[in-house]
Chain A
């Protein structure tokens, strides 16, 4: 691991990300939103969403992550009124969509694009005609449609597939057409419903890169739901973790993921580098320190802080022997994040001293156990 190099890259101008920390009116705001299904004579009702408060900052890419059945699909469908909340308000650019009738909802929906897990392209229409569909629905004339669709095909890199039918396209190409279609009415908000869940990892990356580009170049706010940590880590500046219909954590992605206070967040983070301990350690680890045992410590570094010189100084300054057992570096929302699992041979007082030393230099640590 070359920390010197990492230090440089870590100083990317993070605060220039659109919408970050801005004081502007949020693009979407959920206020005490609840949604219950099947509230009728027939059996028990299902609580899909329970008192949800959520903010989607203008110009941001905001991700909602949760397991299947956590309520994310319902949540995203409330934004364009495909579902109505049982109670609460859903403000989209200041308008409460929960209170609109179908006719007014239709005009709001034209300012919100949506992409889907299974693309939902019309099999009977060519790529061009699929992108043109929302424009036809909005009653736009043929010439204007032609002028709008051609650059969109270009934007998603499929100008050569203009007259192809969906069945002649690959999954990634279909989703690109889906994205172009969602952008056709020049919306201010793009909703993504598990848009990469049916795609392979490589295609997923290229679709995420396209979404990032659209967010950056067009200043479009993106709200996405996913069950894939990878997706959030790669493109979302803001994240909300949903479980059992409740938002259990929300905030800047880096803070939520590196803080990972809530148990659901931890479970979802299972795949993140360094969260799993190697078997040879866990099998020998105990919770109780005995004289002469090694203390197993997880040291977490975020962004700018480098670990290796600090660990070296534990040896030189405090005389503690440090062994690196496992470690990994990852990137969350464009910032490096990593952890090292180390074993220290020292008595407990010295261990406390060492942890204070690390804390003074901005590295958090956690005692995982002891090994003889």
Chain B
């Protein structure tokens, strides 16, 4: 393989990591609180707001059921408003983040709903405020679930980031399509796939290790 191709591969890997990292970070920043809110704002829960809960639930479902490539195109005006341009790696981060927020939110909601309601009751009986319950009980107890949720999110993001070549986002997917497929270079295609597999594998095992570390539920006596 030529040095040029190798340089392209490095660049593409860097772009993918950049998009995944920024979209993952901003997505978590919005997605985790949204997930907490979805899990605690039903009728009779910590922050009862059933109608807002329903409305947000609808938005989340709508975003999640829109195919990613359509989402990318559909929000181009929004992307331009945020990033100043609608093409390029930085611009691609906008749709990636928009797709990530509801994804994380639902996973975090599930993780929080799995926390034993008895713990919330015990904390209320101690005189804890709703915010204290969120931080000291729900988020603390849901840590293994949230670690798994973030792992799954990053793995999915690596996949999504391969699609943003469509708007000039670059990255490994773009490299694979343009060189491996359109220019008939199967060796490039193969190496792109191998790099992606290695990336996913690394993220997954790091995430699993973190989740195991957080999980104190099944320690041997």
Contacts and interface: CB of A to CB of B under 8 A. Distances in A.
Contact of B118 (A105, A109, A120): A120
A120 B119 contact: yes
Contacts of A357: none
B136 A120 contact: no
B125 A133 contact: no
A109 B125 contact: yes
A107 interface: yes
Interface residues of A, number: 30
A80 B125 contact: yes
A118 B125 contact: no
Nearest to B126: A134
A80 B123 CA distance: 12
A110 B127 contact: yes
A120 B116 contact: yes
Given A122-B141, A123-B216, A133-B136, A168 B221 contact: yes
Interface string A135-165: 0111000000000000000000000000001
Interface string A180-203: 000001000001000000000000
Interface string B186-221: 000000000000000000000000000010111111
B118 A116 contact: yes
Interface residues of B, number: 25
B87 interface: no
A82 B125 CA distance: 7
B85 interface: no
A125 interface: yes
A215 to B, nearest CB: 19
A134 B136 CA distance: 10
Given A165-B216, A167-B217, A168-B220, A120 B128 contact: no
B132 A137 contact: yes
A105 B214 CA distance: 33
Nearest to B144: A124
B6 interface: no
B127 A124 contact: no
B146 to A, nearest CB: 12
A170 B221 contact: yes
A336 B126 CA distance: 38
Contacts of A124: 140-141, 143, 214, 216
A38 to B, nearest CB: 12
A114 B125 contact: yes
B39 interface: no
Contacts of A110: 126-127
B94 to A, nearest CB: 35
A106 interface: yes
Contacts of A107: 127
B124 interface: yes
A112 interface: yes
Contacts of A82: 121, 124-125
B65 interface: no
Interface of A: 80, 82, 105-110, 112, 114, 116, 118, 120, 122-125, 133-134, 136-138, 165-170, 185, 191
12 contacts: A82-B125, A105-B127, A106-B129, A109-B126, A120-B118, A123-B217, A124-B140, A133-B126, A167-B217, A167-B221, A168-B220, A170-B221
Closest 9 CB pairs of A and B: A109-B127, A120-B122, A134-B126, A110-B127, A165-B216, A106-B127, A114-B125, A120-B118, A123-B217
